[in-house]
Amino acid sequence: MRAWDKFLTEEDKKVYEGSGYGSRGGFGKRPAVIVVDVNYAFVGEHSEPILESIKKWRNSCGSVGWDAIPHIRTLVRSARDNRIPVFYSTGKDPRADGFDRGAWSFKNRRNHEDANKVVAGVRGNDIVKEIAPAPHEFLVEKLKPSAFFGTPLLSFLVELNVDTLLICGTTTSGCVRATVLDAFNNNYHISIVEECTFDRFESSHAINLFDMNAKYADVIGVDEETDYMRGVGRGLYDDKIGFSAETARAGI
């Protein structure tokens, strides 16, 4: 049973089957991992129920985010073991006057709260330490949902001749979806790593996984992703990225 099955009507299921959507897109030959916005602002400073966490962090997904962290560690560890590049995105610190928040100010009454505030000694835009970037990895800061929009991400992927993106993070319906759509627009093979992806709304998470699996990406498990990375062969990117034994595991 898939995460979205309980949200679909019988007619939805028949349309999905009859329309031809949901074919397996498959992998290419040169993968990279993208971890979207797994920072403290989106999970809170520790695991707790979402209704408690959002009192401090308005964007928090609460405990479901922390439940995903061990799976993300597994994915990132596999990438490092196989010397495959990992890209992280997080929010860019806003201007003091809030001008660069742009349209974010339209739809949330708590928008005045600084997304980069510090609670219990942790900074909102910092990647959760359990999966923090290693020195040879990449962190892109963004102002909009997609990790591609207004960042150098695409140029880095082109330089590395990447053809396959393994995408995870948060939120499924927001920044992950926006990143997936931009990757699709640029003709990448895309996999969404299900256990490593989460949202503050269960229904949004499930339906967006369903929709992206139907049209833009393969929603598959972390075990299949790690098997794939082991199979592509180590050393694809050694001429571009300074991998080393000291940085490969980076505490994960």
For the stretch 119-139, pLDDT in tens is 888 999 999 999 999 999 999
**CA gap 96, 118 in Å, rounded:** 16
Alpha helices in the chain (DSSP H): 10-19, 40-43, 50-56, 63-81, 153-160, 177-185, 202-215, 222-232, 245-248
> For the chain, what is the largest distance between any 2 Cα atoms, rounded to a whole number of angstroms?
54
For the stretch 211-232, pLDDT in tens is 999 999 999 999 999 999 999 9
pTM, to two decimals? 0.94
Q: What pLDDT does residue 178 have? A: 98
Do the beta carbons of residue 180 and residue 149 sit within 8 Å? no
Domains, the chain, ranges and CATH?
28-233 (3.40.50.850)
For the stretch 65-123, pLDDT in tens is 999 999 999 999 999 999 999 999 999 988 878 788 887 878 787 877 766 688 888 99
For the stretch 186-202, pLDDT in tens is 999 999 999 999 999 99
**CA gap 229, 180 in Å, rounded:** 19
Do the beta carbons of residue 242 and residue 74 sit within 8 Å? no
